[in-house]
Amino acid sequence: MRRDEHVTSEMAENVVKTLMASTDGGGMRKRAADLSNAIKKSVMDGGLNRAEKDSFISYIARRNQIYY
C-alpha cells in the first residue's frame, strides 16, 4: 500500500481477520499490548518521558524568568 492510497473496506477486513484469527495475530496483539504498557509507564510519574517533559518545562520557566 502506498502512502497516498485509500484504504478500502476489504483491506481493513483482511487486516482485522489476520489479527483476530491467525497465529501471527496473537503475536501482533502481544506486541501491541507490550508497547501500550511501555508507553503508559513512560508517561506516568517517574517515567522517563514524564521526567524529560518536567525537565523541559522547568528549563523554559527558568529561561523566561531571565528575560522578564
- The Cα–Cα gap between 68 and 57 comes to 17
Residue 30 CA: distances (Å) to CA of 11, 26, 36, 41, 42:
22, 6, 10, 17, 18
Band the pLDDT of 9: cuts 50, 70, 90: very high
Higher-scoring residue by pLDDT: 54, 3? 54
Global pTM reads 0.48
Residue 68 has pLDDT above 70, yes or no: no
Cell of 41: 509507564
Name the average pLDDT for the chain: 84
